[in-house]
């Protein structure tokens, strides 16, 4: 009962706009969390390649994701937080669908670069929006909650992803 009361107090401690940003961030992250753990299995089985090729694809996603984060920070300041967050969500959805339709491994390499670069551009916008919404004394707690929600997506996502992948890998890309 005390734990529920603490959760309720935390919820009311932050403004509605903050929770919207946190919710959008959760949706964005859970998509990747559902897919990423099973992606190497998908690559090796669909394209009949080894784990080295799968590792290269995953490495491209991650490396270009770092670059996308850096570019996203500059774009957030130039075009605004909301535009970048919405663009990032739309791009993430379409990129996940495109992964399911790739027919050859050689197509997957440049697609991994492209998706890694663009799918992470919205991350700085989420953080900047939290800084804009919250007063300075609430920012540490707000960033902590944003981080916890991201981790929660990674706790829940692989379970949902495993359930879906057990039925069909392609269905995993539709979420």
Burial class (CB in 10 A: 0-12, 13-18, 19+), 100: middle
What is the separation, in whole angstroms, between the first and last Cα of the chain?
A: 35
Helices 2-13, 136-167: inter-axial angle, 10-degree rounding: 110
- pLDDT (tens digit per residue) in 132-148: 999 999 999 999 999 99
From residue 159, alpha-carbon distances to 24, 37, 140 in Å are 20, 10, 30
CB 141 within 8 A of CB 16: no
Burial 138-161 (b: 16+ CB within 10 A, else e): beeebeebbeebbeebeeebbeeb
Give pTM, 2 decimals. 0.80
- With a CB cutoff of 8 Å and minimum separation 6, the contacts of 75 are 84, 121
At residue 15, does pLDDT exceed 90?
Answer: yes
pLDDT for 92 equals 80
Q: Give residue limits of the domains in the chain.
A: 38-172
What percent of the chain has a predicted confidence (pLDDT) above 70?
98
Calculate the CA dihedral of residues 32, 38, 42, 44 and round it to 10 degrees. Answer: 120
């Amino acid at each position: 009962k005390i734990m529920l009361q603490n959760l309720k107090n935390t919820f009311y401690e932050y403004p509605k706009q903050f929770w919207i940003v946190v919710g959008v961030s959760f949706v964005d992250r859970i998509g990747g969390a559902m897919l990423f753990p099973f992606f190497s299995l998908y690559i090796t089985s669909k394209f009949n390649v080894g784990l080295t090729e799968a590792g290269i694809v995953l490495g491209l996603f991650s490396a270009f994701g770092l670059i996308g984060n850096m570019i996203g920070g500059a774009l957030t300041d130039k075009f605004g937080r909301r535009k970048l967050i919405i663009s990032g969500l739309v791009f993430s959805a379409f990129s996940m669908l495109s992964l399911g339709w790739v027919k050859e491994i050689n197509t997957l390499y440049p697609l991994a670069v492209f998706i890694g670069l663009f799918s992470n551009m919205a991350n700085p916008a989420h953080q900047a929006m939290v800084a804009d919404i919250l007063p300075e004394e609430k920012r540490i707690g707000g960033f902590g909650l944003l981080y916890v929600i991201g981790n929660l997506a990674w706790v829940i996502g692989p379970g949902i992803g495993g359930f879906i992948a057990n039925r069909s890998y392609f269905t995993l890309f539709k979420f």
